[in-house]
Amino acid sequence: MRRDPRRFKDSVYGHIARLGKAVAAPKRLELLDLLCQSPRTVEVLAGQAGVSIANASRHLQILRAAGLVDADKKGLYVEYRLAVEEVGRFYLALRSLAESRLAEIDKVASAFFEQRKAPESVDGDELLRRVRSGEVTVLDVRPVEEYRAGHLPGALSVPVADLPAKLEELPKGREVVAYCRGPHCVMAVEAVALLRNKGFKAQRLEQGVLEWRARGWRIETAAAESRKGSRSRARP
């Protein structure tokens, strides 16, 4: 039995549209952004996205039905994660397209960061050169769980809330570059403001792990570093 070409196309585009519908809500985009950093439970996602657990659960179920996220049972909790790494690239491409085509995003972001007197960001290529040459200290100011899941090579984990108590541990006389979850994340802005107030020469890196990975640059994980350390200690 021959299939009607029109029905075939309608079916294909209908399934593709499921992805569009799944991300057609600001909170679901924010949840995807958070999951691009690391897996986490519904409870944690709800708190970080500023919604109730029930609402977060409903949004996650829609994302899961579209094949964008998956979940694993971890004891009494359900932990969500991106279904495949390609979802992160999809989210980044969508965000980049929106930033290039919708002037409102730049206006909102510029007004917000100007109000906070946010420092100019450092380009990723320039940072890479300076890191490799040992010119700067790189701080990952996201929560520790996100750092463990993936961070820039050589970065130190200092969550922004812990930074005031960690200032004495930072290398003296070296410039500090802080990063967090990407261009719309404010944790690095707060970290740089604090560092400058305490006399450090500090800059903000606009890119986060997601952008770094998309450019094909190496990302380190806590598990990989632990294995590397174990092999080093095992050598005679």
36: annotated active-site residue: no
The helix-helix angle for 85-101 and 26-37 (nearest 10°) equals 130
Contact present, 153 and 43 (Cβ < 8 Å): no
Topology classification of domain 112-229: Oxidized Rhodanese; domain 1 (3.40.250)
Write the pLDDT tens digit of every residue in 110-140. 898 888 777 777 777 877 788 777 789 999 9
Topology classification of domain 5-88: Arc Repressor Mutant, subunit A (1.10.10)
What lies within 8 Å, CB to CB, of 58 at 6+ separation is none
Min mean pLDDT across 38-47, 62-71, 201-210 is at: 201-210
178, 180, 192, 195: the catalytic one is 180
Min mean pLDDT across 11-15, 47-51, 148-152, 223-227 is at: 223-227
Nearest to 129 by CA among 158, 156, 154, 159: 154
Q: Where are the domains of the chain?
A: 5-88, 112-229
In this prediction, residue 230 carries a pLDDT of 44
Write the pLDDT tens digit of every residue in 62-91. 999 999 999 999 899 999 999 999 999 999
In whole numbers, what is the pLDDT of the chain averaged over residues?
90
